[in-house]
Chains A and B, each alone.
Chain A
């Protein structure tokens, strides 16, 4: 069974569109994350939610808005997509307790044309 699942896996869309990536985890974790991997493979955190509360909000454009309807889901909505938003977006989850392993989804490849 998939532990952290995100959809869609591939997304090609035009500049200016609005799109969402959904994420669900069935691990019983209380903390979820969104990470972005750029074309050079560099991974950087975007957001972190704990029990539906926003904990970490790195410097990302306001066009990116995470939404956590419950602690098993963390969706990422992106408005007015730009070419520079093309990247792989990884959802992840962990237990809140110190040092717990963060498990990642399979990634969503977003291409803006």
Chain B
């Protein structure tokens, strides 16, 4: 069985600070996929990024960046120069094959609050 751990339950920062959200995973699959989703106060789940296990390149998208390290089974997410609108619950997830389908196993989420 696979597992995703987001040890930070809540993080609070002041606007313009950088913040890193940690994600550690466990899986026996050799091929797997990692995701980050954002859940703002309005409640929807917004896809942010997908990374496959063969691609360890870090990725940057605007103020967002992701650091995938297979050696430590981590897929951390950094927000640079945080803004109030970044306040949300962020979920890390791991995709595994179940028969002919795939399912996501989610971490417990990190509540990020960005204060003005």
Q: What size tier do the contact residues of chain B reach?
A: 20 to 34
CA A96 to CA B98, docked complex, whole Å: 11
Contact status B102-A99, CB under 8 Å: yes
Given A41-B89, A43-B91, A101-B50, A96 and B44 contact (CB-CB distance below 8 Å): no
- Residues on B close to A: CB < 8 A? 31, 33, 35, 37, 39, 43-45, 47, 50, 52, 89, 91, 95, 97-104, 106, 108-109, 111
Q: B106 is contacted by which of A43, A50, A101, A109 (Cβ under 8 Å)? A: A43
Give the interface SS of chain B, mostly helix, strand, loop or mixed.
strand
Q: How many A-B residue pairs have CB under 8 A?
A: 69
Q: Does A63 contact B (CB under 8 A)?
A: no
In the complex, how many residues of chain A place their beta carbon closer than 8 angstroms to a beta carbon of chain B?
28
Chain A residues with CB under 8 A of B95: 99, 102
Which chain A residue has the least Cβ–Cβ distance from B101?
A55
